[in-house]
Amino acid sequence: DAEITQSPRHKITETGRQVTLACHQTWNHNNMFWYRQDLGHGLRLIHYSYGVQDTNKGEVSDGYSVSRSNTEDLPLTLESAASSQTSVYFCASSFQTSGSGELFFGEGSRLTVL
């Protein structure tokens, strides 16, 4: 079955290290998104992509980067992890130009920065 998967599911790292969270979807969706989920803030958009070679900043993009070299993957990189980036990260995807508002979410990646 087509799906969206994230890895690793849990990660502990130290301040200053580079971390990459992987997101892979097999639906052939053009749209992909990264959100972080924090208590009191809900889900906040970090970066998004509407297709290969397209990347855009969301509302909380500082300290994060993404790349889209193919349709299936949108890896999220923390260049130099900070304790403020301890969070649960969700990847999501949707059909191209659907405008339906239906995002399909991964299971989440819990990142702890010590």
Partner 1 sequence: AQRVTQPEKLLSVFKGAPVELKCNYSYSGSPELFWYVQYSRQRLQLLLRHISRESIKGFTADLNKGETSFHLKKPFAQEEDSAMYYCALQYNTDKLIFGTGTRLQVFP
Residues found near partner 1 in the complex (CB under 8 A): 31, 33, 35, 40-45, 48, 50, 59, 90, 92, 94, 97-103, 105-108
Nearer to partner 1, 13 or 45 (CB): 45
- Which helix (DSSP H) or strand (DSSP E) does residue 49 occupy? strand 42-51
For the bound state, the minimum distance from the C-beta of residue 77 to partner 1, rounded and expressed in Å, comes to: 21
**Sign of torsion, CA 92 108 35 73?**
negative
Neighbours of 32 (CB within 10 A): 28
CB 37 → partner 1: shortest distance, Å?
Answer: 9
